[in-house]
Each structure stands twice: as structure tokens, then as C-alpha cells.
């Protein structure tokens, strides 16, 4: 599951309403030895601008993956949610984009820790 793109019924913090959107799964409960109930995921947005730590997916690659259009992986927006909110599998993140995500996420975490 890790590295896969799925649809997910995510709750928008601004109005507490659910919206089905694509997500990238980046972790799950198995790492803690727990029964697989929750997943860690990041939002994939087609409307957000690309920030310093975000990963852009160009339109051609996005369509090959199964996304509708050019998108941005919001590396700084990691959430935990129930596996029960997963919809259908869209595709998998190509290895080069997965590596870019890991590098940018690592940079983001290091910046956070260095500010403490």
C-alpha cells in the first residue's frame, strides 16, 4: 500500500465536510505492530500551488498514474485516517517521484527539528 495512490473520503478542516480526493499512502499501523486500521497519507491536489517542499506531478505523468491532471503532492500535509475511508486504487507513484517525495519530506522534517 505504501507508495500507492487511492481515492479517500478526506474531511476538509475548513468546513468539516468530506470530499473524495486522491491521496498518497505513506505509512500504516503495521510499523507500530498494531492491527492495520489507520493509514498515514498526504493529499494530492490539482488546484494548489507548488511550495518549497511539495512535489509536482506533470500532466503527462499524472495521466499515466491515473490522475486527471497536473497535480501537487503536499509533502507538509501528512494526515492519519481510517483505512475504512479508502475508495479505489488509482495507481502507484513512479520511483523517481517517490524518491523526490522522500527527499523533500526529509528536508521538511530536518527544517522543523532544526528550529527547535
Find the domain containing 95 and state its range: 4-114
Q: What is the mean pLDDT of residues 68-73?
A: 94
For residues 70 and 105, what is the distance between their CA atoms, to the nearest angstrom? 20
Report whether pLDDT(102) > 90.
yes
Q: How many domains does the chain have?
A: 1
pLDDT at 106: 94
Instruction: Express each pLDDT in 32-48 by its tens digit.
Output: 666 667 899 999 998 87
Q: What is the mean pLDDT of residues 73-87?
A: 91
pLDDT at 50: 81
For residues 54 and 105, what is the distance between their CA atoms, to the nearest angstrom? 8
Kindly report the pTM of this predicted structure.
0.86
How far, in Å, are 6, 58, 66 from residue 83 at the CA level? 11, 28, 20
pLDDT at 34: 61
CATH number of the domain bearing residue 64: 2.30.30.110
pLDDT at 31: 63
Amino acid at each position: 500500500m505504501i507508495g500507492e495512490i487511492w481515492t479517500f473520503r478526506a474531511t476538509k478542516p475548513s468546513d468539516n465536510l468530506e470530499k473524495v480526493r486522491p491521496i498518497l499512502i505513506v505509512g500504516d499501523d503495521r510499523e507500530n505492530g498494531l492491527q492495520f486500521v489507520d493509514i498515514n497519507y498526504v493529499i494530492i491536489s490539482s488546484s494548489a500551488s507548488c511550495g518549497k517542499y511539495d512535489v509536482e506531478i506533470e500532466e503527462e505523468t499524472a495521466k499515466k498514474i491515473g490522475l486527471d491532471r497536473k497535480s501537487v503532492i503536499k509533502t507538509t500535509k501528512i494526515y492519519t485516517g481510517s483505512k475504512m475511508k479508502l475508495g479505489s486504487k488509482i495507481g502507484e507513484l513512479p520511483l523517481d517521484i517517490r524518491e523526490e517525495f522522500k527527499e523533500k519530506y526529509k528536508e521538511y522534517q530536518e527544517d522543523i527539528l532544526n528550529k527547535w
